Structure 1
Amino acid sequence: MKSRCNLFALCAPVVTATLLYAGLATVATPALAASPSASTVTRTLVIEPDQGLTPIYNLIQSATSTIDMTMYELVDTQAQSLLCQAAANGVAVRVILDQNLEYNNNLSAYNQLNSCGATAVWAWTKYDATHEKSIVVDGTTAAIMSLNLTSRYYSTSRDFAVIENDAADVAAIESTFSADFASQTITPPVGDDLVWSPTNSKTQLLNVINSAQSTLQVENEEMSYSTIVTALENAAKRGVAVTVCMTNDANDYATEFNALKKAGVNITTYAETAPLYIHAKAIVADYGTANARAFVGSENFSSASLNYNRELGLVTTDATILSQLNTTLSSDYAGGTAW
Structure 2
Amino acid sequence: MPLREVFAVFAMAAVTWSGCVVFPTSPLPRAHAVDADYQLIQEPDAGYGPIVGLIAGAARSVRMTMYELTDPAAVNALIDDHNRGVDTKVILDAAFHGRKTNADTFQQLSDAGVEVKWAPNGVIYHQKTITVDDATAAVGTGNLTPQYYSTSRDAWVLDRNQADVAAIAATFDTDFTTPPSGRAPDATPAPDLIWSPQARGSFLQHIDQAVTSVDVTSEELKDRAVLSALDKAARRGVQCRIVLTENPAWAKGVAEVSAAGCSVHQFPDTKTGLYMHEKILLTDNANLIIGSQNLSTTSLLENRELSLALDNGTAPGLVAAVEATFDADYAAAPAQ
Q: Deviations over 1:237-294 (max 9, x none)?
A: 1111110000002x2211111111110000000111051000011011111xxxx110
Separation of aligned partners in 2, 1:337 and 1:245: 9
SS of 2:237's partner is coil
* Amino acid aligned to 1:309: N
Unaligned runs of 5+ in 1: 1-17, 30-41
Matched, 1:103 2:135: no
Task: State the aligned residue count.
Answer: 303
* Amino acid aligned to 1:315: A
C-alpha contact 1:124 1:180 (8 A) present in aligned 2: no
How far apart are residue 203 of structure 1 and its match?
1.1
Separation of aligned partners in 2, 1:196 and 1:214: 26
Q: Deviations over 1:195-243 (max 9, x none)?
A: 10003x1111111111111011110000110100111111111111110
- Percent identity over the alignment is 35
C-alpha contact 2:35 2:318 (8 A) present in aligned 1: no
Matched, 1:147 2:142: yes
SS of 2:120's partner is coil
Please report the TM-score for the alignment, with normalisation by the length of structure 1.
Answer: 0.86
* Amino acid aligned to 2:216: V
Matched, 1:49 2:47: no
The aligned counterpart of 1:328 is 325
The aligned counterpart of 1:207 is 205
The aligned counterpart of 1:259 is 256
Q: Calculate the aligned-residue CA RMSD, in Å.
A: 1.6
* Amino acid aligned to 2:273: P
Please report the TM-score for the alignment, with normalisation by the length of structure 2.
Answer: 0.87
The aligned counterpart of 1:303 is 297
How far apart are residue 126 of structure 1 and its match?
4.1
Unaligned runs of 5+ in 2: 1-20
SS of 1:338's partner is coil
Matching of residues 186-265 of structure 1 within 5 Å = 186-199=185-198, 201-249=199-247, 251-265=248-262
C-alpha contact 2:35 2:316 (8 A) present in aligned 1: no
Separation of aligned partners in 1, 2:302 and 2:323: 30
Higher helix share: 2
How far apart are residue 192 of structure 1 and its match?
2.4
* Amino acid aligned to 2:23: L
Matching of residues 77-226 of structure 1 within 5 Å = 77-101=72-96, 102-127=98-123, 129-184=124-179, 186-199=185-198, 201-226=199-224
* Amino acid aligned to 1:303: T
Q: Deviations over 1:284-337 (max 9, x none)?
A: 1111xxxx1101010011111111100011110111011111110111111111
Distance 1:62 1:306, change over 3 A: same
The aligned counterpart of 2:6 is none
* Amino acid aligned to 1:110: F
Separation of aligned partners in 2, 1:28 and 1:259: 37
C-alpha contact 1:285 1:293 (8 A) present in aligned 2: yes
SS of 2:249's partner is coil
Q: Deviations over 1:64-108 (max 9, x none)?
A: 010000000001111101111111111111000011121011011
Distance 1:49 1:24, change over 3 A: farther
Q: Deviations over 1:106-137 (max 9, x none)?
A: 0111011111121110002342x000000000
Q: Comparing 276-285 with 20-29, which one deviates more in the overlay? A: 20-29
Separation of aligned partners in 1, 2:121 and 2:302: 11
How far apart are residue 186 of structure 1 and its match?
3.5
SS of 1:171's partner is helix
Given candidates 262, 265, 269, the residue that maps to 1:268 is: 265
Distance 1:21 1:109, change over 3 A: farther
SS of 2:309's partner is strand
* Amino acid aligned to 2:53: N
How far apart are residue 174 of structure 1 and its match?
1.0
Runs of 4+ in 1 over 6 A off after TM superposition: 21-24
The aligned counterpart of 1:319 is 316
Matching of residues 22-61 of structure 1 within 5 Å = 25=28, 27-29=34-36, 42-61=37-56
